[in-house]
Structures are given as structure tokens and as C-alpha cells.
Chains A and B, each alone.
Chain A
Amino acid sequence: MIKIIGALLILLSGSSIGWIISGIYLNRVRELRELQLAFNIINTEISYEKTILSGALIKAAESLSSSLRYIFLEAARGLTVRIGKGFQEIWEETIEKYKEELSLNMEDLVILKNWGLQIGVSALENQINLNKLIIKRLELQEKGALELASKRVKIARYTGVLISLMLIILFY
């Protein structure tokens, strides 16, 4: 009886690890999609209503879940509370603070940070182009992330199950 319970525990743990790893790939896709929606909202706010940056970030945050939401809200707060920092600095610091909680990779984070270099500092036309550019780049990242996920999600899940089965055979 103990052996059966032990075997089940190993199987459960191994499978869970596989599911967690696959979840990282799927979360990245979800986060990249959410970000595209968020930047679309920002672009609409800026181009149609000329909403100031903090307001646009707050509107965009409403469409986001998890840590991405906090990044946008905290950056907006950094702009409204006078702390003597430019947006680029505030944005980078906020991304750095929350990056461990995200599934985005380094390349995704660099794209996000680069947006902070130019936003708010030039004329409307440039801002619209900048927003369109980041949306396009996030689309490409999402495409790549989807391809990667389709390859690795199943592998990660199967590997989890197979390794746990191997361990069970070895032990018993």
C-alpha cells in the first residue's frame, strides 16, 4: 500500500513539474497578447483623446491581469507623484521590480523598456508610430512564443510524466 501511495506521489510531482514548465510557455503567449491590447488602448487614448501618459497607463492597466497590471499602475503613479525622475527611469525600474513574476523573456523585456525611452517626449505623430511599432514587435514575439509553446508544451508535460514513471520503475 505504501509503495502504491509513493508511486502515485512521484507521478503526481513529476507531472506537476511538467505542467508548471509548460505553463511558463503558455503564460508568455498570454502576457504578450495582453500587452498588445494594452498598447492598443494606450495608442487610442493618446491619438484620439490626447490623454496624458499617466491616464493612458491607468486605462491600459484595466485590461491587464497579474503583474503586468502592477507595472502599468505603478509607472502611472510614479508620474503623478513628484519624485524627480523621468518616465524612462520610472518605467525601467518598475519592469525590473516585477520581471521575476512574469513569463516574458529578456527580448520581450527589452522591447518593453525601449518603448519607455521615447514615449511622451515627442509630437503626436511620432507617438502613434512608436505605439504601432511596439504592437508590431509584440505580435512577432507572440508568433515566436506560440511556435515555441506548440513544440515545448507537450514535450514538457510528457517529460514530466515519463521521468516520474522512470523513477517509479527504478525504485520498485
Chain B
Amino acid sequence: MSLKSTRQGFGDAITKLGQINKDVVVVSANLASSLKITDFAKLYPDRFFECGVAENNMMGLSAGLALEGKIPFACSFASFSPYLNWAVIRQSVCLPKANVKIASSHAGLATGADGATHQALEDLALMQVLPNMTVVVPADYDQAYEATLQAAKMNGPVYLRLTRSDTKQISNYNPGVAPGQITNKFQINKCQILKEGKDLTLISCGPIIFEAIKAIEIASKGSDPMLRKISIELINCHTLKPLDKETIIKSVKKTGRCLTVEDHQVFGGLGAHIAILLSQNFPVPMRIMGVKNQFGQSAKKEAELYKKFGLDSVAILKSIREIIKK
């Protein structure tokens, strides 16, 4: 099975968009090779703008392009955009609903060796708090590719959270169906139920969902009889905003329990958003797994970081055991 990154999925989709949509333009803040947009730059130099290490200007300029009918993709790392240019996104993009797509890579602990400065763990909080913003977290290469194409068709600001390292493909995970067959198509604004279950709703987003998949596999095949008989529903909530309330509420009504897993601060992320939804609509026992009010650090492999910060499959299994007793 080939491993590919979500940022590669984004970059390949951008090249495709260059060919099929003349209004698509790309704005780079000196990270073109990291965002995999160099092919677009070579093929469509008239529609590629390099603004240097200047994220504020990149965003303002994208707003101007969008207000004139272009579809700009503003590309950088999440720890710079939206961190440095949040006020520009708020005023020049979200307030006038400018059709700007923000593509930000190197999000989460998954950034690994670069360390805390580069591991964006607060970007989802910054983005989903803004009115008019759509927030999408693709879990794999295919989803990033598809999300990019769909974002270009939508009218309004979209934040695409991308990641650095190569991952497996969700489409290869289809319990009960033939391998490679996707049970439900990726569509922005709609959750994907990757596996149905009746005892617990497990919700995740981004490549860390593979830790949740691993936990479910261990639970179903492992030696613990209690875990073996738990039926877990796994939801890929790739769109944090607007949240697919219907699918989530329907699921927890069935299971009565909810566990969320994300590569982001607990405050203001996926779990927090779902907690706001459920506490006011259908309160159930809930656990939110994420980074708990601390910064990341360097490690050579992201697996080491997921273990250190209590977000690997072992930690997920522990949370499953705890919540199932509720």
C-alpha cells in the first residue's frame, strides 16, 4: 500500500485545478515546495504569486483577488497562516465573505521533528470561531485531493488543514465491504460513517484517525473479552464547520456514548465543538482526547509524540474502557 500525505493530495489537486479552472490562482508565502504547488507554479506561472515570507500580505492580497472573482488558494504552514494573519482573515476575508481558500500544512503533532513552534495545535480553534468560515480536515491523500476540488467549487472562505507526513488511505478501511470500495463518498459538510456500531460513537478527523482505526482493530481482535464485544461506530468528521449535526446526534442517540480524538488542543477543537452540540441537544457521557493545554516538542516519529501525549491507539483503548463503563 503506497503512503502519501494530505499536502501532496492538495498539491496534486491544485495542478488539476490549474488545468480545469482558469479562475484558480495560487498565492505562496515561500513554502511552495512544502505545499507541493511547484507543478502549478511551473505550468501556470501567470496565476502563481510568490509574496515571500509575508503571511499578512498573502492573505490581504488573496482577499483582493477573490473580491475580483478569482479563486485564490493561500498556501503556508498552519503555524504561520492562520496564526500570524488571523486578523487579516477576520477582516479582509471573513467579513466580506471573500472566496479565499486557506491551505495550511504541517498541522498538529504529526509535524514531528520541527518541534513546538511548527506543530500547529490551535489552528482549528482559530478558524472555527470565525463566522463565514468552513473548516475541513482531510484524513488522507484522496480526501485532501477531493476536498481541494470541492473547496474550489464552493463560494466563500474555506480552511484546509493539511499535514506533513505520509499516511495510509481511509478508502482501504472498509469493514464489511470489499477492500478499496468506498462506502460513502467524501463530501464537505457531511460526516463519513466508516464503521457502524451500537455501543460507542468514536469521532475523529485528520490522519490521527488511523490511531482510532488501529484501536478498533485491536479491540475487536484482541484478548480482552470486554473490548471484543463492544460495537464501535467510527465517524470521520472531516468538516468541523459547519458541523454535520444530524449524523452526529443520530449516532449518539443510538450508542449513548461519545469519544473524540484529535491532533489539536482540547480547547476549541473537534471535541469541544461536538461537546457544545451534544450538551445542548443530546447530552451523553463523553471523553475528549487531544492535547491538553500544553505545547508539543520534537520527535523523529509522530508515533512517539502520539504516545507521549496520550493520543495513540493504546491511549484510545484506555479511554474506550473508561467510557464504556459509564
Decide whether A and B assemble into one complex. no
Give residues in B with beta carbon < 8 Å to A: none
A residues sitting closer than 8 Å to B (CB atoms) are none
